[in-house]
Amino acid sequence: MALNWKLVGAEHVTQACELISQGKLGTALRGRGLFVQYKDKNLPAKDVARAAYLLACGKPPNSYLDFASGQSTLDMFSRLGFHVARRS
């Protein structure tokens, strides 16, 4: 099933970033290479995308969601005004 990233708004990404940076999702940060820059923090892009998508769909942000992050995920962050950086 393809995910519809157009459902995600900036408010969902912001809320996901807040939850992750406050440690409220109960999962370890799994950064592998791409990070969303938010309030002087680098948050794992895949974790932020997962939580934001779930919030946009009205589901708990710590629910299971398996997806392959890729260009569509990066495009979503860019469209919403968030900067994604690659760890060197």
pLDDT at 88: 61
- pLDDT per position as a tens digit, 51-74: 999 999 999 998 999 888 777 888
What is the average pLDDT across 79-87?
90
3-state secondary structure 18-63: HHHHCCCCCCCCCCCCEEEEECCEEEEHHHHHHHHHHHHCCCCCCC
Q: How many domains does the chain have?
A: 1
- Domain coverage including residue 46: 8-86
- pLDDT per position as a tens digit, 27-54: 555 656 889 999 999 999 999 999 999 9
Examine residue 65 and state whether it is found in any structural domain, yes or no.
yes
Q: Are 34 and 48 in contact (CB under 8 A)?
A: no
Examine residue 40 and state whether it is found in any structural domain, yes or no.
yes
Examine residue 79 and state whether it is found in any structural domain, yes or no.
yes
pTM above 0.85, yes or no: yes
Q: Are 48 and 87 in contact (CB under 8 A)?
A: no
